[in-house]
């Protein structure tokens, strides 16, 4: 673990922590909430590693005050949370469920009182099950329903939310949810999932318009990015890497920034109608960037259904998820976005960055996680280096505030700055919590050194 002080960050830099509704809230039938695709998926035997569900999760529904107090003690300036669509519209359509919105209304008030900016994500994968029954994101109508939902939430919270994020990681929803079936709703369409990409982006564009009509707060989308490393020296390997880069990194960014869709092998663009690309390219104020690791890619075997094979990157420390820890990949990603999109690129906020380790209390009840401190230290240095390279990065959110229910991995992976005893709900700040508190409360300096 490094002892060298962190470099200072620009004045006004947004320091935050992040969570999502299904991963922490629990209370999946409280206050009129309807079922989501993740309720259905988690309750299907054999789909979640430990057989658990999000029915209780971290019990945040009953403990929001305690969790806001943890944020206040951490000294962060922002909290990125998600609103559960099934709480607002249990069936995915119709008027707002006021009892569900009441929870988020109180949450944003409590955050404001604690000096923490509310950053609201409208969709973090918990699609109302009735919409999935009608086709889910394969159905163009879901995009329109999403815009209506965005309008309902903004009508209630738009005067206090400081940054709106429409979608979280639409690539992951498309690829794991509809492409390979590892996530809800568990469909296995491979490249037949392309309409999911388009309808999510169309929903984003329609939601941007709905938000602009209700609030003056900035609007963003959060994408997951992974720098691609070519694993091999052949032209076929390089072509495979280009194909994966187009699918993972460009499919959800090129059209947002007015460049249309890249060429993705196997994708059928028949879902795209006249005027859709203009809706999708509605200007955004911030691009949210989620980064965990680069991806190694080589040419696929002849019998592969995909045009690339993914290859494990060796020579790096690894997390409990077996992901390589590559801080320089974040700098590479940020400068690469700047180089690729130039003046089209809005300011960036790193809306997720974090790591899973097998943290547990010691005999004194304390939780020491030096590997997470090393991880955060390296990634914050990478962000500062990108800023020094001229990239307009204005914020960094740690994933996650709390250990949570980690999707198909259930309770087996811990990402939090705060340890959660999933049997009792007890919260214990880890040593990384104290480290990050010290990092965010250091004095800032200008982004560009003075010429004097």
Give the residue numbers marked as catalytic: 169, 352
Q: Report the C-alpha gap between 281 and 204 in whole angstroms.
A: 9
Sequential DSSP letters for 254-307? TTTTTS-----TT--GGG--TTHHHHHT---SEEEEEE---EEEEPPPTT-SSS
The answer to whether the CB of 81 falls within 8 A of the CB of 121 is: yes
The answer to whether the CB of 34 falls within 8 A of the CB of 129 is: yes
Q: Report the C-alpha gap between 382 and 325 in whole angstroms.
A: 12
Q: Report the C-alpha gap between 189 and 176 in whole angstroms.
A: 10
Specify the DSSP element, H or E, that contains 129: helix 129-133
Q: Report the C-alpha gap between 305 and 231 in whole angstroms.
A: 19
The answer to whether the CB of 39 falls within 8 A of the CB of 54 is: yes
Q: Which two tokens stand for residue 188?
A: 């296995």
The answer to whether the CB of 89 falls within 8 A of the CB of 79 is: no
Q: Report the C-alpha gap between 97 and 33 in whole angstroms.
A: 8
Which residue in this structure is represented by tokens 């499919």?
251
The answer to whether the CB of 229 falls within 8 A of the CB of 296 is: yes
Gap between the terminal Cα atoms of the chain:
35
Q: Kindly tell me the burial class for residue 443, based on how many C-beta atoms sit within 10 Å of its own C-beta (0-12, 13-18, 19 or more).
A: exposed
Q: Look at residue 252 and give its three-state secondary structure.
A: coil
């Amino acid at each position: 673990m490094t002892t060298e002080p962190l470099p200072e960050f620009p004045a006004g830099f947004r320091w935050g922590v992040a969570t999502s509704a299904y991963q922490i809230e629990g209370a999946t039938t409280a206050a009129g909430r309807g079922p989501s695709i993740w309720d259905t998926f988690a309750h299907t035997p054999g789909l979640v590693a430990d057989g658990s569900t999000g029915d209780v999760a971290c019990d945040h529904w009953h403990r929001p005050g305690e969790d806001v107090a943890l944020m206040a003690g951490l000294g962060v300036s922002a909290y990125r949370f998600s609103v559960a669509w099934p709480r607002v519209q249990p069936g995915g359509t119709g008027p707002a469920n006021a009892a569900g919105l009441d929870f988020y209304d109180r949450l944003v008030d409590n955050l404001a009182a604690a000096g923490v900016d509310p950053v609201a994500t409208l969709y973090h994968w918990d699609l109302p099950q009735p919409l999935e029954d009608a086709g889910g994101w394969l159905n163009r109508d879901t995009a329109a329903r999403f815009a209506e939902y965005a309008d309902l939430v903004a009508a209630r919270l738009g005067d206090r939310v400081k940054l709106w994020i429409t979608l979280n990681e639409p690539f992951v929803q498309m690829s794991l949810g509809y492409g390979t079936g590892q996530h809800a709703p568990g469909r296995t369409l491979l490249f037949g999932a392309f309409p999911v990409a388009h309808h999510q982006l169309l929903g984003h564009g329609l939601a941007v318009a709905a938000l602009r009509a209700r609030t003056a707060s900035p609007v963003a989308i959060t994408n997951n990015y992974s720098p691609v490393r070519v694993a091999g020296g052949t032209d076929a390997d390089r072509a495979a890497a280009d194909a994966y880069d187009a699918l993972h990194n460009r499919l959800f960014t090129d059209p947002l920034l007015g460049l249309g869709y890249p060429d993705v092998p196997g994708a059928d663009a028949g879902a795209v109608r006249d005027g859709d690309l203009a809706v999708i390219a509605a200007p955004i104020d911030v691009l949210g960037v989620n980064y965990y690791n680069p991806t190694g890619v080589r040419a696929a075997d002849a019998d592969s259904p995909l045009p690339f094979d993914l290859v494990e990157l060796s020579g790096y420390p690894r997390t409990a998820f077996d992901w390589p820890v590559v801080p320089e990949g974040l700098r590479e990603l940020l400068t690469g976005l700047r180089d690729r999109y130039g003046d089209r690129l809005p300011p960036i906020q790193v809306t997720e960055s974090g790591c899973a380790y097998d943290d547990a209390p010691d005999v004194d009840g304390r939780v020491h996680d030096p590997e997470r401190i090393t991880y955060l230290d390296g990634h914050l240095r990478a962000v500062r280096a990108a800023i020094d390279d001229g990239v307009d990065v204005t914020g960094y959110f740690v994933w996650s505030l709390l250990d949570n229910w980690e999707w198909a991995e259930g309770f087996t992976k811990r990402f939090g700055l705060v340890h959660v005893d999933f049997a009792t709900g007890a919260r214990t700040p880890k040593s990384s919590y104290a480290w990050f508190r010290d990092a965010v409360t250091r004095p800032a300096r200008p982004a560009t050194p003075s010429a004097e």
